Amino acid sequence: MAMAEQEIPLGEDPAPYHEGTHDPRRRDFINIAAVSFAGVGAVAIVLPLINQMNPSADVLALSTTEIDISKIAPGQAIKASFRKQPLFVRNLTPKEIGEADAVDVSSLRDPQTLEERTKAGKKNWLITLGVCTHLGCVPLGAGEGENKGPFGGYFCPCHGSAYDTAGRIRQGPAPQNLHVPDYTFNSDTVVTVG
């Protein structure tokens, strides 16, 4: 009897698994497949939209940043952003200017005077990228209470590069001074960088 119950009559196919009843596994697969497909579709549509909203490289390269420097007291600095890079704007004290001027430029790794790194008549305004020229870390020294390093300018904690009050490399592995971007004074209190 047991054998007979398992036999399938000739000409009839065995019923598929759970045919005619709810098969949760099959339904779940269909749902997941549909959701996944919708997800791919959404990403395919959204990505071009996001990419359209991002500035292209050439637009970014032409962008400028306007900075209000009226609140930066002598001895203070601010951190801003220029073309997605950190930017330091520093108002040097007469003492810091004196320290920079006292350096024998020919002894420097990247010889430059403070005058060459600032605008005529605005020697107290040191504007540089906040990007260490060694491997690109952001040096300390622009923020309140941050370590300015042994030369009183900026100090890169990654590998110990020390910059002076003119942002010139004085010690450590960085090969160049902190870069000075193009900028212009719109007035005594507003600078456009770029």
User: Angle at the Cα of 24 (from 22 to 26), degrees rounded to 5?
Assistant: 95
Interaction residues for ligand FES, span 173-192 (CB under 6 A): 173-174
Size, binding site for ligand FES by CB under 6 A:
13
CA distance linking residue 117 with residue 166, whole number of Å: 7
Question: Annotated catalytic residue: which of 22, 134, 159, 179?
Answer: 159
Task: Tally Cβ neighbours within 10 Å of residue 125.
Answer: 18
**Distance of closest approach, residue 131 Cβ to ligand FES, in angstroms:** 9
137 contacts ligand FES (rule: CB under 6 A): yes
One of 161, 163, 164, 166 touching ligand FES (CB under 6 A): 161
**Distance of closest approach, residue 159 Cβ to ligand FES, in angstroms:** 3
CA distance linking residue 179 with residue 117, whole number of Å: 9
- Is 159 one of the catalytic residues? yes
Helix/strand/coil percentages in the chain, nearest 5: 30, 20, 50
One of 90, 123, 134, 168 touching ligand FES (CB under 6 A): 134
CA distance linking residue 130 with residue 85, whole number of Å: 7
Interface ranges with ligand FES (CB under 6 A): 132, 134-137, 156, 158-161, 172-174
